[in-house]
């Protein structure tokens, strides 16, 4: 049986040091350690919820109203406090694009 870091947890990618989320590279179960690599750093976060492949995991606490930063850019805002290790998706964030489209639409009328 193989041993090593691959059995210790799943991996996620952090593209920028500004990022407060990382992208999972495999499905992750609640309680698993997720090794976050990228932006010149390696850190580990314990998943507090299950996450599908390619989804965002909070690297550290994100407070209500704070920007969600991915690839060094604000992609949305937290609609509630999000603890490190939780899945960041439409249930706890509002997309910046969705917000901008709504605001643009409201200005037109």
pLDDT for 43-58, tens place per residue? 999 999 999 999 999 9
Whether residue 2 has pLDDT greater than 80 = no
**Whole-model pTM?**
0.81
| Domains assigned to the chain | 9-108 (2.30.130.110)
Chain mean position to CA 22? 5
pLDDT grade for 8, boundaries at 50, 70 and 90? very low
Whether residue 99 has pLDDT greater than 80 = no
pLDDT at 97: 74
């Amino acid at each position: 049986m193989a041993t090593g870091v691959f059995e210790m947890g799943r991996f996620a990618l952090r593209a920028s040091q500004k990022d407060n989320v990382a992208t999972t590279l495999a499905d992750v179960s609640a309680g698993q350690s997720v090794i976050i690599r990228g932006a010149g750093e390696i850190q580990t976060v314990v998943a507090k919820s299950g996450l599908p492949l390619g989804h965002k995991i909070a690297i550290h606490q994100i407070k209500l109203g704070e920007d969600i930063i991915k690839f060094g850019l604000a992609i949305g805002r937290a609609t509630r406090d999000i603890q490190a290790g939780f899945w960041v998706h439409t249930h706890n964030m509002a997309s910046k694009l969705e917000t901008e489209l709504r605001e643009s639409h409201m200005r037109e009328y």
